[in-house]
Structure 1
Amino acid sequence: MTLDSKSREQLKQISTGTITTILFKHGLRNVWIRGPQHVFGKGQRAVGPAFTMRFIAYREDLCTPNAWSSPKSTRACVEAMPDGCIAVVESGGCLDAGAAGDILCARMQTRGVQALLTDGAVRDAIGIRSLDFDVWASGVASPPAVSFMHFVGWQEPVTCGGVAILPDDIIVADDDGAVVIPAALVEEVLKVGIEQERQEAWILAEVQKGGALAGLYPMSEDTRKRYEQQKS
């Protein structure tokens, strides 16, 4: 799906913790992508539709320097990425090679890609750091992708960090990692999420003032009335 600017900005106000709670209430538990953490960039919450990339395990006859010029190369894939997307890379958890390096990340950045997310590693740490481009990854490695993985395509369903991700699902990533929101549930997350963030900020402030958790978290009826009065 496409995100209008208002929806994107609203999702940036909702933490991945809040999103996983909302989706849990709708029966979805497997939405938090295992492994990737924020390793490069400003660390601001990233929001965008998934543009998927997929690697499979290496095989010697496939993983050769010729793969770089194949029509199904990571280079061709990056040139197909639209403005505002998040590149989601299925690397099979491979930490022996970087799924992308500074040159690919630089090209993503100039195309308006919001971030790169992979359950594997990236390479060229110094170069990526100089770009100030947001990357969520499971590690950093020196070898090129082709030495340990074979790139097979883009914009198809992938498994990243044990989570099924379809092209154009919505990705939200912050300091707690990354989650996927199925397109059909984005409106529900928007409807519930911002108010839940307000409530939890108020509860946190009350706890910091010395308030006990009983009746506060979760809110009792009396506490909710007090919250509503103070909110208004």
Structure 2
Amino acid sequence: MSTPANTNFDPTPSQPLPEATMEALAQVSTATLTSVLLKFGIRTPFMRRVRPLVGGTRLVGKAYTLRYIPMREDLDGDALEGRFDNLTNAQRVGIEHIGHGDVLVIDAREEIHAGTIGNILVTRMKVRGGAGIVTDGSFRDAEGIAAVGLPAYSAGTHAATNVTLHHPVDIQRPIACGGVSVFPGDAIVGDDDGVIVIPRHLASEVGQRAIEQERRERFILNLVRDGASIIGTYPPDASTLAAFEASRSKNT
């Protein structure tokens, strides 16, 4: 038998991010976003060791958080025997409340020696409109998760079920994932480099600044391709910036 589960949580998703913010973040790389966030004083927004399950993946959405603590036999005896209460298990409750644009972000304590979720629950997330899934632990049923087509990022893969090491204890509370603080509703962006967390209140301005930075860097890249020295070009001096502004005026 298991002791009573913790059900002291509110599974309600956060309010959607503005469409304009989502569209802006979808256009830029995590590398650019880290540079922009540094100007806001955010130094470590990038999750360590978290990589896309499938190359070429792009992810944009808002965080829906799930926290695991280490499994304990008196808490997880039923689960170890394959019995789950879908009305009280934090993982299962979260899956049934995820909505459009939500990214399930799982705090697995960077423990990779058991799965955190498998393909059936990921399929349910996709049906509900989820935007993706991120964990600093491992995926189980990796091939099946990849086939679902939902953007998926993890620190590894492992065949063992989550209950051998993990106990889902909380949803929609602040967590850590890959060494980064994640609050419900934060913007989550992923690409081939990995996953970045943008504080919700900064997401709109960061997205717009990132678009502007990438426009400028494309101009600089073309100059370097054409033979320009990086001196005065990267970073750009006043004359390079003036040339950039002139090119923008010409193209509008």
TM-score class, shorter:
over 0.9
Structure 2 distance, partners of 1:103, 1:42, is 23
Structure 2 distance, partners of 1:191, 1:62, is 46
Q: Percent identity?
A: 37
Pick from 207, 213, 216: which aligns with 2:233? 216
Which residue of the partner structure matches residue 9 of structure 1? 23
Matches within 5 A, 1:1-232: 1-40=15-54, 43-44=57-58, 46-66=59-79, 68-69=84-85, 71-232=88-249
What is the TM-score of this pair, normalised by structure 2? 0.87
Structure 1 segments, 4+ long, off by >6 Å, are: none
Secondary structure class of the residue paired with 2:99: coil
Aligned Cα RMSD in Å? 1.5
CA contact (8 A) 1:41 1:129 kept: no
1:63 offset after TM fit, Å?
Answer: 2.8
My pick for the range that moved more, 101-110 or 66-75, is 66-75
Letter aligned with residue 76 of structure 1: V
Structure 1 distance, partners of 2:77, 2:178, is 26
Q: How many equivalent residue pairs? A: 231
Structure 2: 5+ residue stretches without partners: 1-14
Structure 2 distance, partners of 1:114, 1:41, is 17
What is the TM-score of this pair, normalised by structure 1? 0.94
My pick for the range that moved more, 84-93 or 69-78, is 69-78
Letter aligned with residue 117 of structure 1: V
Structure 2 distance, partners of 1:133, 1:49, is 14
Q: Is the alpha carbon distance of 1:187 and 1:73 closer, same or farther for their aligned partners in structure 2, counting shifts above 3 Å?
A: closer
1:116 offset after TM fit, Å?
Answer: 0.3
CA contact (8 A) 2:66 2:90 kept: no
My pick for the range that moved more, 133-142 or 65-74, is 65-74
1:92 offset after TM fit, Å?
Answer: 0.6
Structure 1: 5+ residue stretches without partners: none
Letter aligned with residue 20 of structure 1: T
Q: Is the alpha carbon distance of 1:207 and 1:41 closer, same or farther for their aligned partners in structure 2, counting shifts above 3 Å?
A: closer
CA contact (8 A) 1:53 1:90 kept: yes
Secondary structure class of the residue paired with 2:73: coil
Letter aligned with residue 119 of structure 2: D
CA contact (8 A) 1:78 1:107 kept: yes
Which residue of the partner structure matches residue 9 of structure 2? none
Structure 2 distance, partners of 1:42, 1:108, is 21
Secondary structure class of the residue paired with 1:64: helix
1:99-152 superposed Cα distances (whole Å, 9 cap, x missing partner): 110001101111111110000000102211221221010000000100111110
Structure 2 distance, partners of 1:220, 1:95, is 46
